[in-house]
Every structure is written in structure tokens, then in C-alpha cells.
Structure 1
Amino acid sequence: MSQALNKLNSKLEQLGTQAYQFDNAKWFDKNRYIQNQPSLFDSHLFHTKSLLLSDYVEEIKLTLKNLPPEQNRHAYQFAVEQVGEQMQAVIKVLKSTPVWAKENKLSQPKKAKVYKKAIQRIMQSSHELYQELSQNHEFERRLQEMIDLRRAQLDGANAEQNAKLNAEILALHTRLGRCRKAISATEEKIQQLEKQGNR
């Protein structure tokens, strides 16, 4: 996971260099329409209001640096997807210029795929683990309900029914124990991912 974030940061550094070159070339200076705009992008995509691409790359870097904790998976997923959309928006502007066309004639499609894959890897690793954890907690809840139900049925049961219910309770407890072990193992994996992400 840390490796995927590092690759994303690396691609962002390259994007920053290209944005700086773009700004220095002053591509928008002769474009009256753009000069009259308060911002290059829609407000839902960037908070930044600027006519310099470098400012937008800085916002992406800040977003990536301050990703929400992975346990808050909806906020984390939204933030990573936002980074992907923002990078694509900046690349779209760069692609319209001769600088991008010359420097990225051969490598651009590959670069786009690399950072997309990096985002997918981060999303997949955390999303799958939290999904697994959620499923295991649901199994745990159901097993506990089944145990409670059979315990309630013990009241007023005859000797034969009592023996049958106790055998079922014992079997359910065994399954519950395995389920709780799986929950602990998944939680441990999530902690390891978080440690890697914080390095």
C-alpha cells in the first residue's frame, strides 16, 4: 500500500514539473476567455482559484498528504478518487499544449495507466479488508443470535430436547470462536496496512 502511495506521489512530482513548465510558457496569456475566468476548473473539483496549473498540483499534494484514516473508509475512498479526478483534470489541460505532446508522445498513455493502477491498488487493498471485516462481524452477530435463541428454548424443554439444544449451542460456539479468530486476523491486516501507509 505504501508502495502504491509512493508511486502516486512520484507521478504527482512529475505532474508538478510539467505544470511549472506550462505556467512559465504562459499559454493562457493570450486567451481572453480564460483570463476572465476566476478559476481553471469547476469548484466541485478544486477549492483553488487560480490561472496557474502549479497551484492546483499543490492542492492535490495537500489532499494526498492529508488522506483521512483508512478505518473511515468512505471518506478515505472519496479522497483517493478525488485525487485521481484532479490529476486527470490537470493532465487534460497539459495535453492541449505542445510541451506535453513533445515530452509525452510515447510515455503518456503508460503514465496515465500507472497512476490509475496505483489508485486502484490502494482502494482495493483497504476496501476488500473492510468488506471482509464487515462480513465477519455480520456472521458473528448471526451466530450469537442463534445461540441466544437456543438458550431461550432450553426453558421448558424436555430432557431429549435439552440434550439436542445443548449440542447445537456447543457447535455454534465452535463456529463463533472461528469467526472471532477471523475478525482478529483481518483487524491485524488492517493495522499493518495503516502502519505501512504512515511510514
Structure 2
Amino acid sequence: MNTQQLILMLKQQLAHIEQEALQHDNQLGDQQKKTLQHVERFNHSVFIQEGAQLSPCIVQLRKDIAQLEKQLTLNLAKSTIELSCLRIQDRFTALRRALLTTGLNLKSAEQKKASNRARYAKKQQQSVQDSGFGWIANNIMQNSHQLYQELNKHFAWANKIEFKIQQMESNLEVCHAADKITLQNDILLMHRRLGKCRQAISYIEERIQHFERPRQSLNR
């Protein structure tokens, strides 16, 4: 095979695989493109390309063939020509393999996303349980109406506790010395209850924002 036949054969192969790559890319749905958006399809030594679409690889292959044609015209060293041919062959092989394995890449990416979601959900659930407000998430976190009811309830509790603390602190000034330590401990306990109540209020307010955010996005 002479040099002209070699270049002609490579250009024919390129034209054929270009049609396959374009057809492949046109058949991809928006969700599939999004799923593979940051997935590396190739080793960087073969193609610098990531994501779902494969037609950008054709541009790199076309440059390689043009470079080889120039090298042959300049009659460069045999080792240089062989190296270019091997690079082109490796890229053709890698692109054909990528065309056949898009389905597997999609499945792998979806499984990875599902695993990450499950891990995040588990972490969030553990965080809720560790916060001491797991009973809120389990019992009343179904919709924003229930959340507002619970928020109002906690505000009422906080007001009652604050009023109780004020009463106890007033009594502390006039109570018998022997009773002061007990009353001080009771006041400290009430402050702790108030702190817990305020933490619950903050938590519920965050949950309300979580529920309301999708609505706000839809109303824009």
C-alpha cells in the first residue's frame, strides 16, 4: 500500500465513523447528556474528551490524519510515520469502543448518582437524629402547612418558657438563701429547655425553606 492509498483509506474510515458519531450524538436525550456531562470517556493520552457527545473526537482524528499526510509528503523518518499511524489506530479503536459502550457508561453513571443520593440521604437522616429533632422529621415533616403549625407551637412554648424564667429569676431575689441553689438549678434547666426549643425553631424554619424553595422556582 502506497502513501496515497493509506491516506485515502484513513479518510474513508474517518468519514464512516464520523457518520456513526453524529448519529450517536443526535440520538442522545437531554437527560443522558446531563448524566454523562462530567464522565471521562477516554484515557487522556488518547482523547481529551468528556461527556456524552463523541463527535468532537472526529476533529482530533482529522487533524491527526492531516498531520500524517504532511509527514509523508515531507518524507520524514519511518519511526515518526509509524508513531503517527499507531496514534491514529489507537484513536479509531477507542472511538469505536466508546460508540458501543455509551449504554454501559450511562448505567454506571446512574448507579453512581443513586449511590451518592443514598449516601447523602443517610447522612442527612443521621444528622437529624443526632440533632435530637428526629421526632419532628418522622412525625410532621410531610408538608409546609404542618411545618407552620409546628413552628407556631414551638414559638408558643418558647414564650411560655421565657415567661417562666422571668418569674423564677424574680423569685430568686426574694427567696430564702437555702432555696437559692435549688432555684438556680431549676432556672438553668429552663434555659436549657429554651435553648432546645430555639434550636427546634431554627430546624423547622430550615425545613420550611426547603419545602418553599421549589414553589418559588416554579413561580418565577
Range class of TM-score, shorter chain: 0.3 to 0.5
Identify the structure with the greater helix proportion. Answer: 2
In the superposition, the TM-score normalised over structure 1's length comes to 0.42
